[in-house]
Structure 1
Amino acid sequence: MSQELFDIYDEHDQKMGTVPRDEVHAKGYLHHSFHCWIARDTPEGRKILFQKRQDSKDTFPGLYDITAAGHLSAGETVEDAVREVEEELGIPVRMDQLTSFGTIDYYATGTAGGKAFIDREKCFVFGYLLNLPLTDYRLQQEEVAGLYEAGLDDVIALFEGTQTTISASGIHSGQECNDEPQIFDTTLSLQQFVPHKCDDYLNVFKKLKKL
């Protein structure tokens, strides 16, 4: 099976060419990604949604992450990448429904499948206030292990270090579409999240408060 291709960029964000995914991460080429954070208002206050990455993911398996996100494939624009929300969460979304939170420069290193990787991304970040319950989402089982929500103020406290754990509710993927997903309660700690920079997380969370 042929590899997904990514456009790569120089330090001035000028396109340099198109390279297979494995080479992008092996050599640390700069590429683009799309992040969408979803929040909703409830009688208990505003909540933020996280996805749990599948255990089969090559990077950060089983950790909690952005509500929906993905790399831009070769030739794609940020507007095209909004497809990630529907693919991962089963919710159709238009770009004009999202609020831009600007961009984040992301850098991470590690190993995946026994190979070292260098991940350098320019992330186009968006927020979306969508007042749907968890049970309305239909998760992409190959990518998403579950979808969770927690109080936005609690999440901010967690990342600021004033709380060590927070309460969250979630649903598992893999249930038949005609079944009502069962919501369960859990407790989350900072160590269970993908290790993006705390300041980047907090910047997004505080913007979500203002939506």
Structure 2
Amino acid sequence: MSQELFDIYDEHDRKIGTAPRDEVHAKGYLHHSFHCWIVRDTPEGRHILFQKRQDSKDTFPGHFDITAAGHLSAGETVEDAIREVEEELGIPVRMDQLTSLGTIDHYAEGTAGGKSFIDREKCYVFGLLHDVPLTAYRLQEEEVAGLYEARLDDAIALFEGRRDAIPATGIPSFREGQAAPETFPATLSIHQFVPHKYDDYLNVFQKLKHLRPDEK
């Protein structure tokens, strides 16, 4: 089975070619990714949704992460990558529903499956104010173990170091044809999150706090 190809870029973000996924991460080639953070307003305030990565993921298994995200395959645009939201969360979303939150330069290195990796990404970040409950989502079982919702102000306090843990509500992934499971209470602590820079999390959270339905 052939590997997914990514476009790769130089230090000035100029495309210099394509390479297979494993080679991109082995050699630390710069590539592009799509991030979509979802929030919703409730009587208790604005909430933010976190994806829990499946335990089978090659990097950061079982960690909490961006609501929906993915790499851009070779030849894809950021607009094409919106498919990640429906693939992972089961909800159709249009690009004109999203608000651009800018870009983030991401760098991480470590070991996955016994192999070293270097992950260098330019991340195109978007926010979506989407007023549906957790039970409306249909999660991609292969990628997503669960979806968790917490108060946005609590998440900000967690990453500012003012809280050790925060309460959340979760829902697990389930297979096609199964009855949707009920939500359950959970507690999120900072060591359970993918180790993006805290400042990057906080910058996005602050922008999400001020996101308005008519803002694009």
Shorter-normalised TM range: over 0.9
1:39-72: CA deviation from partner (whole Å, max 9, x where unpaired): 0001111000000000000000000000000000
1:12-47: CA deviation from partner (whole Å, max 9, x where unpaired): 110000000000000000000000000000111100
Q: Residue 103 of structure 1 aligns with which residue? A: 103
Gaps of 5+ in 2: 212-216
Contact persistence 2:174–2:181 (CA under 8 A):
no
Q: How many residue pairs get matched?
A: 211
Aligned mates of 1:11, 1:144 — CA distance in 2 = 32
* Residue range with higher mean Cα deviation, 26-35 or 178-187: 178-187
Aligned mates of 2:71, 2:155 — CA distance in 1 = 25
What's the TM-score, normalizing by structure 1? 0.99
Aligned mates of 1:139, 1:101 — CA distance in 2 = 24
Aligned mates of 1:177, 1:169 — CA distance in 2 = 23
Q: Residue 60 of structure 1 aligns with which residue? A: 60
Q: Offset at 1:178?
A: 5.3
Root-mean-square deviation (Å): 0.8
Q: Residue 39 of structure 1 aligns with which residue? A: 39
Q: Offset at 1:179?
A: 1.3
Q: Residue 164 of structure 2 aligns with which residue? A: 164
Q: Offset at 1:177?
A: 4.4
Aligned mates of 1:123, 1:139 — CA distance in 2 = 22
Identity %: 80
In structure 1, give the amino acid aligned to 2:35.
Answer: H
1:65-106: CA deviation from partner (whole Å, max 9, x where unpaired): 000000000000000000000000000001110000010000
What's the TM-score, normalizing by structure 2? 0.96
**1:132 to 2:142 alignment:** no
Q: Residue 154 of structure 1 aligns with which residue? A: 154
Gaps of 5+ in 1: none
